[in-house]
């Protein structure tokens, strides 16, 4: 019997994502001026206020207030009507030194023997469902909001948009897990109070989302995905009605509260650890990226059509306590998942320091991950500029999304005789 599956996304202006972006901007600045920084930075945003907290060990000192305000303004919270703006909000910093009890289990004289920053299990997932090896419902959900943000910044076709928004896509699958059609699309977007008649306002928003936004999104999709769109799609556009009050004024935001949006939209699995604000010694982040890297290269090499990878660690211990692989019965290699996992452990060095080196994670590459998903984006090299009143100006050329590279496909094929 056919079944339905749903994934959601949230925009860069969603309060939880505002918090994530601030935390990762702070992390990037610490790493830019001191690559060995140890950072675990949390952010809370609410009406007119930002609270920064966490533990940091670094040789550099930052103007954290300026960094937070700059992120908020860049997102688009620049008007007093939003009850939250980068120029006027209060910023309170409660950041303090990292615990020596934790640090002694992580730092080693020989960096290769660096211990894991915490215990826990991390997951990576990949599927042949899309060109970027991501679940389709999540991929479309992200694209809807990325395009909505472009329309907001353009301010021409839909001039009343505000930064906060959410999307959700429901897809019908056949028994053999093949997408059949788009069943429902939900878009909730914050907006100006541009008409005294709420019904007129809501009808205008519905019309613009369906007739302006969606064609722009669909045009980006490959033909086989475009064919899933149909005249029977149920659209829920701002289903509660008016959505003028939003962002941190409408709902308090916290770092790390959108972990499913950040990963696979409910497909595969999640170990529970958030990413943003954490330097790569925290395996919550680095090992999750490494697991995605493994899963994507396995699928691209032809090991299976769908792969879930789990890795686990003990705090302060160098080697992972386990590596697990689930191919959901989609492998035709004649190997058990346990045998595949054993080979994976020989191909990929999963010690924390090795992950950092392989994926170049000691670079300021994290603010770009903090909205619209950490997985599925195109690897690219860019130059980033950082300025500090205490350390001056620095330019760094960095590689973004290294865990999305298909640089181990040949090694995987050789190991599995594909």
DSSP per residue over 44-84, as a string?
EEETTEEEEEEEEE-S----HHHHHHHHHHHHT---GGGT-
For residues 272 and 338, what is the distance between their CA atoms, to the nearest angstrom? 24
Q: Annotation-wise, does 109 bind a ligand?
A: no
DSSP per residue over 316-336, as a string?
T-SS-SEEEEE-TT---SS--
Instruction: List C-alpha distances in Å: 110 to 45, 78, 315, 360.
Output: 39, 47, 17, 18
Q: Annotation-wise, does 14 bind a ligand?
A: yes
Q: What are the backbone dihedrals phi and psi of residue 364, each rounded to the nearest 5 degrees, phi first?
A: -80, 80
Length of the chain counted residue by residue: 418
Q: Other C-beta atoms within 10 Å of 172: how many? A: 15
Q: Annotation-wise, does 282 bind a ligand?
A: yes
For residues 84 and 405, what is the distance between their CA atoms, to the nearest angstrom? 38
Task: Catalogue the long-range contacts made by 392-400 (C-beta closer than 8 Å, 24 or more residues apart).
Answer: 394/32, 394/33, 396/32, 396/363, 396/364, 398/360, 398/363, 398/364, 398/365, 399/360, 399/363, 399/365, 400/365, 400/368
For 194, half-sphere exposure in the C-beta direction (CA atoms, 13 angstrom radius) is 14
Q: Annotation-wise, does 374 bind a ligand?
A: no
Q: Annotation-wise, does 98 bind a ligand?
A: yes
Q: Annotation-wise, does 396 bind a ligand?
A: no
Q: Annotation-wise, does 166 bind a ligand?
A: yes
Q: Annotation-wise, does 243 bind a ligand?
A: yes
Q: Annotation-wise, does 278 bind a ligand?
A: yes
Give the largest Cα separation in the chain, rounded.
68
Q: Annotation-wise, does 223 bind a ligand?
A: no
Binding residues for L-methionine: 55, 98, 251, 282
Binding residues for ATP: 14, 164-166, 242-243, 251, 257-258, 274, 278
Binding residues for K(+): 42
Binding residues for Mg(2+): 16
Binding residues: 14, 16, 42, 55, 98, 164-166, 242-243, 251, 257-258, 274, 278, 282
């Amino acid at each position: 019997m056919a079944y339905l599956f749903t994934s959601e996304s949230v925009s860069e202006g969603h309060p939880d994502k505002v918090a994530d972006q601030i935390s990762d901007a702070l992390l990037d600045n610490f790493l830019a001026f001191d690559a060995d920084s140890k950072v675990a930075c949390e952010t809370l945003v609410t009406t007119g206020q930002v609270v920064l907290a966490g533990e940091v060990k670094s040789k550099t000192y930052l103007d954290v207030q300026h960094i937070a305000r700059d992120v908020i303004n860049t997102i688009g919270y620049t008007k007093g009507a939003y009850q939250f703006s980068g120029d006027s909000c209060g910023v309170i910093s409660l950041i303090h030194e990292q615990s020596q009890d934790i640090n002694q289990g992580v730092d080693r004289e020989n960096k290769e023997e660096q211990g894991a920053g915490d215990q826990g299990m991390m997951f990576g997932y990949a599927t042949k469902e899309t060109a970027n090896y991501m679940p389709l419902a999540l991929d479309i959900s992200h694209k809807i909001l990325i395009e909505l943000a472009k329309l907001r910044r353009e301010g021409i076709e839909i001039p009343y948009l505000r930064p906060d928004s959410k999307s959700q896509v429901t897809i019908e699958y056949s028994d053999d897990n093949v997408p059949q059609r788009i069943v429902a699309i939900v878009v909730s977007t914050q907006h100006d109070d541009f008409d005294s008649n709420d019904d007129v306002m809501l009808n205008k928003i519905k019309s613009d989302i369906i007739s302006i936004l969606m064609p722009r999104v669909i045009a980006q999709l490959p033909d086989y995905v475009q064919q899933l769109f149909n005249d029977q799609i149920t659209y829920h556009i701002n289903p509660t009605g008016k959505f003028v009050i939003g962002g941190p004024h409408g709902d308090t935001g916290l770092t790390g509260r959108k972990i499913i949006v950040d990963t696979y939209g409910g497909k595969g699995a999640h170990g529970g650890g958030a990413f943003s604000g954490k330097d790569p010694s925290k395996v919550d982040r680095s090992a999750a990226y490494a697991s995605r890297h493994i899963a994507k290269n396995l699928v691209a090499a032809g090991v299976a059509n769908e792969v879930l990878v789990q890795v686990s660690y003990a705090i302060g211990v160098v080697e992972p306590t386990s590596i697990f692989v689930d191919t959901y019965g989609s492998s035709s290699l004649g190997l058990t998942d346990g045998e595949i996992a054993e080979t994976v452990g020989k191909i990929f060095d999963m010690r924390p320091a090795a992950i950092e080196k392989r994926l170049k994670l000691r670079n300021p590459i994290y603010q770009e991950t903090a909205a619209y998903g950490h997985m599925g984006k195109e690897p690219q090299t860019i130059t980033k500029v950082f300025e500090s009143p205490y350390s001056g100006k620095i330019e760094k050329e960095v590689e973004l999304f290294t865990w999305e590279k298909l640089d181990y496909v040949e090694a995987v094929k050789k190991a599995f005789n594909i």
